[in-house]
Amino acid sequence: MENKEVTNNDKIDQLQDHTTDNSNEKLTTNQGLKINNNQDSLKTDERGATLLEDFILREKITHFDHERIPERIVHARGSGAHGVFKLNKSLAKYTKAKFLNEVGKETPVFVRFSTVAGSAGSTDLARDVRGFAVKFYTDEGNYDLVGNNIPVFFIQDAMKFPDLVHAVKPEPDNAIPQAASAHDTFWDFISLMPESMHMIMWAMSDRAIPRSYRMMEGFGVHSFKFINSEGAVHFVKFHFKPKLGVHSVAWTEAQKISGTDPDFHRRDLWESIEKGAFPEWDFGVQIIPEENEHDFDFDLLDPTKIVPEELVPVQLVGTLTLNRNPDNFFAETEQVAFHPGHLVPGIDFSNDPLLQGRLFSYTDTQLSRLGSPNFHEIPINRSVNTVHNNQRDGHMRQQIVKGKVSYEPNSIGGGCPFQAMMKDGGFASHNERVDGHKVRARSESFVDHYSQAKLFFNSQSTPEKEHLQNALIFELSKVTIPEIRERVVGQLNFINKELAANVAEKLGVEVKKLDKPNGSIPADADPSSLQSEEREPSTKFSEALSMENTVKDTIESRIIGFVMANGVNTQAVKSLKSKLESKGAVVQIIGTSVAPVNADDQTTFVPDHSISSVASVSFDALYICPGEKSVEQLTKPDIKPIVAEFINEAYKHCKAIYFGKDTDEIYKVTNIAKKTHKDRAIIQTSGDNSSDEQFISAVAAHRVWDLEKDRNSMA
């Protein structure tokens, strides 16, 4: 009796003690059941659909979806806008989705952009993936295309999504760092997940610090299916290509912008729409016949792979335009509920295991965040066609349905609402044969983790490669555990040996060969979780992967800072300002203070900024305005160092700088005067029109990244 009593007390104490030490323990479910595969969801076959009976996946994702209230667990920091999608080329050959059939048809949309890792109060300029989610309010119901600005993802199976996000979020012992991947837990996870290396190339590239939401691409990430009216099936990848080209900010700029204007992207989107400079994207599709599914050296179902545009060109078929800001941020941008399972007839899912898990996760997370199964009745989430079904009641119910019938079949209500026949637009899933054994496994076709990472890195311009390398060095320098650094360098060695060696040198570690990078996986585990073979990509180079090849010959919406003081030359200012604004650029006046600037002819310019309270990182280019008295003011002892630092910073970041007539005294106090190379983005003028055109051309080029080293050596 005595021994039994002690044992019971021990059990009670154990139940009352909420602390846990996971050291040397086996993984279990929340019910204590030991888990023997935490890498893969349960499928009908290695490439089959994920099964609803996978209670381990559902428990894991359910817990993950309910870990934060009320802001989103991921994509919490967001901005949105209303707009319209116009179809320019019919896709009726491939899909019966009506909004993609009739040329000229316009469909209302709401688009939300977001960062992934940070909280709602974090900075816009974190190095991070950006969400690019589009809600199409079609005549057949709402269709949500819930994508990112990067076409691949870190993981291949939704089973790993909670692990990925837990790793990148602030570390649980001290909640540090916020909105940053440069820490131990993230890189520990990545170092043990070879499948993440393609995504790491994108995330460490300049794509992860966009100049604006208007200047980044959008991708559906997964392979989806188009189904036409005859039932023919094609795989499809979705693309949004910005009319302004794809551009980024420098990492050092991003850090400074985060301090001076953490709402930089949100403000840019809002102000652009308010001014009528509506953001636009070309909407494109890559279409692959069902019978060609296996024609590639990668798997179409693998979300860590792209379909190179050299293999399947992107067909541009429509235009997405954002033309109206929300009336209320919370009611619209914060409460909008996206879901990849919101489909219309003619679009269907593939068996991508990451997509399959998302189909469960999004409904569950909306229930947690918005508190009711009636989240579809919030105005921003309502479909434009009336909802008719037998669902009733629930928290915050708004729709009032007349009559006593809330079931089907029924005779009291005349059998209404009826099921819709396919010919009447009723949705029917693709009639795909499903067979095989229930397995927790991954297809061998998912094993190649490095060839497309090589493709991405090989396709970058020289400056982009340098930025990517520097990003890796910065991030891994924040990792405090040497073994993690070594494992990441070992992974990089499979992608590019020079890259690995350069990073290793800066980190003070050796490049070591990895045999089994995930040491926590048992020897008899599925081989897809171990090291993949080194392979060379079949497509060696892809122009579409370098931002350098997206530059458009336009200065539309670029912000040009005019630096001036009392006595500025009115004629020169008005002439260039008119030329820039006629081409869609935005001119902002920068004075020595925010007091009105009195020009040489008594014209008054009202500054938008004081040079001591704004940084050059907020501008795409600078014009140092002419005027003898203005130059005298700007070179006074108290203001000259501020002006010089302001211009030097813009120069360091490879921006175009235009020195107006008789501004030599300002030019001389900057680092630009030390340059020994020809710099096409630095314009000095005697006042002729050709200098104006040179400046406009330099701004249209966005940056002179290839001169970055020369400029920094002068800084």
Query: How far apart are alpha carbons 240 and 243 in whole angstroms?
Result: 9
556 φ/ψ sector (left φ>0, alpha ψ -120 to 50, else beta): beta
Task: Give DSSP secondary structure letters for 658-711.
Answer: EE-TT-HHHHHTSGGGG--S--TTEEE-SS-HHHHHHHHHHHHT---GGGHHHH
- Annotated catalytic residue within 148, 325, 381, 569: 148
Query: How far apart are alpha carbons 234 and 44 in whole angstroms?
Result: 22
Question: What's the token pair of residue 224?
Answer: 């989806």
What φ, ψ does residue 4 adopt, rounded to 5°?
Answer: -65, -40
Write the burial class of residue 522 (CB in 10 Å: 0-12 exposed, 13-18 middle, 19+ buried).
Answer: exposed
Alpha carbon distances (Å) from 105 to 56, 84, 89, 257, 293: 44, 10, 10, 40, 31
Among 94, 254, 103, 95, which Cα is nearest to 180's?
Answer: 254
Q: For tokens 């076709």, what's the residue? A: 445
Q: Going by C-beta distance under 8 Å and a sequence separation of 6 or more, which residues neighbour residue 389?
A: 417
Per DSSP, helices labelled H in 568-634 are 570-582, 628-634
Query: How far apart are alpha carbons 166 and 61 in whole angstroms?
Result: 12
- Annotated catalytic residue within 75, 234, 339, 653: 75
CB neighbours (10 Å) of residue 240? 23
Query: How far apart are alpha carbons 648 and 665 in whole angstroms?
Result: 14
- The answer to whether 353 touches 40, Cβ cutoff 8 Å, is yes
Query: How far apart are alpha carbons 41 and 57 in whole angstroms?
Result: 6
Q: Is 148 a catalytic residue?
A: yes
Query: How far apart are alpha carbons 514 and 495 in whole angstroms?
Result: 13
Helix axes 482-493, 497-507, angle to 10 degrees: 160
Question: What's the token pair of residue 541?
Answer: 């180079």
- The answer to whether 362 touches 340, Cβ cutoff 8 Å, is yes
> Measured between alpha carbons, how far apart are the two ends of the chain, in Å?
82
Question: What's the token pair of residue 101?
Answer: 């059939």
Among 708, 714, 710, 703, which Cα is nearest to 249's?
Answer: 703
Q: Is 142 a catalytic residue?
A: no
Helix axes 462-477, 497-507, angle to 10 degrees: 40
The DSSP call for residue 612 is T
Question: What's the token pair of residue 292?
Answer: 């060609």
Cα dihedral 415/419/425/428 (nearest 10): 180
What φ, ψ does residue 399 adopt, rounded to 5°?
Answer: -70, 130
Determine the Cα angle at 222 with ends 379 and 54, to 5°.
Answer: 85
SS3 252: helix
Preceding amide of 409 cis, omega within 30: yes
Buried b / exposed e over 419-453, threshold 16 CB at 10 Å, is eeeeeebeeeeeeeeeeeeeebbbbebbbbbbbbb
**Which residue type is seen at 468?**
L
- The answer to whether 476 touches 190, Cβ cutoff 8 Å, is no
List active site positions. Answer: 75, 148
